[in-house]
Amino acid sequence: MPVHQANGSVILTHPKGSSVELLLYGATVISWKAGTITSPEPTERLFVSSKAALDGSKPVRGGIPVVFPCFGAPTHPDHSRLAQHGFARSQVWTFHSTVMDSDAGVSVRLTLDPTSSIGSTYDKPFHLAYVVTLEEHQLSTDLHVTNTSTSSAYPPDNLEFQALFHNYIRAPANQVLVFPLQNNKYYDKTETTEEGRNNVKAEARTAVDVREFTDSVYEDAPPQYEVTWPGGGVKIEVKGLKDVVIWNPQRVAGTKLTDMEDGGWEKFVCVEPGYVRGFAKIEPGKTWVGQQVISVIHHERRTNQ
């Protein structure tokens, strides 16, 4: 059964064995299993904390939470009543349709419209569609944001927002390298002062590691980057997502997260494509699309195996 719905989740199964599971809650992908050409047995590519809430009581600590309409603490007047990272990851989305179901891949569309539970905290008209596509060795997620305002006023009733895919990539955190980000400007959110957090830096390293507590927002990042570790890795290609965040709390910040399993910080790196520096703006009737394609890196089988 390529697309199976049950108990608030949707399971996609590829004919070659890879799979994805996502919750209608937050449209949160909580599992992506895929093999490689050299090791075809599907293995879990995402991290979900064993303490994560999967019952819709709070955003999932892991997988791919969808961040919209604000990243981090709100800074735009339209978002002033919203929680950190906005509401998309904590609303129940609607299963709209199966978009593709073939040997090439399996794809589904979920939608989110203003609901009573959003209403009092956010009053801009919008429509979200989230398309999740599973191919044999890759997972794509596309967020389509539409400004459904019918206003013809001037200035136009623009929709201004941020969006990000908060990917928890399963990896040996202390051996991860992310590149190419050298010379890219970034903001270090681990700085202890606001001045420090607002101070733009230039990445000096050829590859970024997360052996220390890391919370870096890279602005105007390349459209493709690799997340690698000995014997494994993924490539992320993006469209419409000009920035990327790299986060790992390590113990110093990880122990403060009540839903982070002990030592969980050793098992993932968050590499989060987004539009988070400044705001995307769309006029009434227009649609913005942000897309990521995450593909497994096929490491050559070692000759001594």
Contact residues toward ligand TA6 (CB under 6 A) are 59, 72, 84-85, 166, 189, 215, 245, 247, 270, 272
Q: Examine the residue annotation and report whether 166 is marked as an active-site residue of this protein.
A: yes
Report the nearest approach of ligand TA6 to the CB of residue 114 (Å). Answer: 22
Which residue's C-beta sits nearest to ligand TA6?
A: 247
Give the N- to C-terminal CA distance of the chain in Å, as an integer: 35
3-class secondary-structure state, position 106: strand
Report the nearest approach of ligand TA6 to the CB of residue 299 (Å). Answer: 28
Which residues is 22 bridged to in the sheet?
10, 29
Report the nearest approach of ligand TA6 to the CB of residue 61 (Å). Answer: 7
**d(Cα 269, Cα 163) in Å, to the nearest integer?**
19
Rounded to the nearest angstrom, the gap between the alpha carbon of residue 274 and the centroid of all alpha carbons in its chain is 8
Active-site residue among 219, 272, 283, 300? 272
84 is in an annotated binding site: yes
Report the nearest approach of ligand TA6 to the CB of residue 238 (Å). Answer: 16
Give residue for tokens 């110093």.
252
Report the nearest approach of ligand TA6 to the CB of residue 15 (Å). Answer: 34
89 is in an annotated binding site: yes
251 is in an annotated binding site: no
Report the nearest approach of ligand TA6 to the CB of residue 91 (Å). Answer: 15
DSSP secondary structure code for residue 282 in this structure: E
Q: Which is nearer to ligand TA6, 126 or 187 (CB)?
A: 187
Q: Which of 246, 179, 261 is nearest to 215 (CA)?
A: 246
Q: State which amino acid sits at residue 131.
A: V
Q: Which is nearer to ligand TA6, 124 or 189 (CB)?
A: 189
Active-site residue among 14, 137, 166, 203? 166
Omega into 222 within 30° of 0, i.e. cis?
Answer: no
Give the start-end residues of each E strand in 45-136: 66-67, 94-101, 106-112, 126-134
250: left (phi over 0), alpha (psi -120 to 50) or beta: left
Buried b (16+ CB within 10 A) or exposed e, 231-268: ebbbebbbebbbbbbbbbbbeebbeeeeebbeebbebb
* Element at 252 (helix H, strand E): helix 250-254
Residue 120 tokens read as 């009092």
Catalytic residues: 166, 272
Which residues carry a binding-site annotation for substrate?
Answer: 61, 84, 89
Binding residues: 61, 84, 89
